[in-house]
Chain A
Amino acid sequence: GIQVEQSPPDLILQEGANSTLRCNFSDSVNNLQWFHQNPWGQLINLFYIPSGTKQNGRLSATTVATERYSLLYISSSQTTDSGVYFCAVITQGGSEKLVFGKGTKLTVNP
């Protein structure tokens, strides 16, 4: 099955810093979503981005489908950005389930 790799696994920032999270996937996809899992376990949708670039406030994401990777940018980080960020994909054809990476754990210190 498809492999989804996220990097880095852990990231520690000072408040106000910028960061880039990466997601590599091993096969063609027609759905890619970025999620933020808060300390209570809720998965919050950030982006649905199978290709192209989107921005939402301090967050933006870019997916280059032909090269099989996606990037999540967080600018001017805040302590409330802490948590685990997951990339998840659905492959073209076959199952419609989301296949998740292992996540990037982000800690933003004041």
Chain B
Amino acid sequence: DSGVTQTPKHLITATGQRVTLRCSPRSGDLSVYWYQQSLDQGLQFLIQYYNGEERAKGNILERFSAQQFPDLHSELNLSSLELGDSALYFCASSVGARGWSGNTIYFGEGSWLTVV
């Protein structure tokens, strides 16, 4: 158990709908990251928050948005869903915001999203 909690674990929804994925980071971690993993793709970086502020942005679609709340949990909102949005969405957390050996990124179990 990494200590990163994601809900829901599985979600099936229809095209055009909106869903919210929730993430609670490990205790003490200030950074939260969201990654998307499709069947034939690696881990695509979406966005990173550090202590409530957006720190880095990747290939996140305009239909997607995220935020980190004062209690450090984060939500990823996916709207106007398309079939191609079906994927495994990982949340991860770490203590800091930069790359160094002590700043290990721990992944949650992921949220499986299926759009039908």
Physical interaction between A and B: no
Residues of B whose CB lies within 8 Å of any CB of A are none
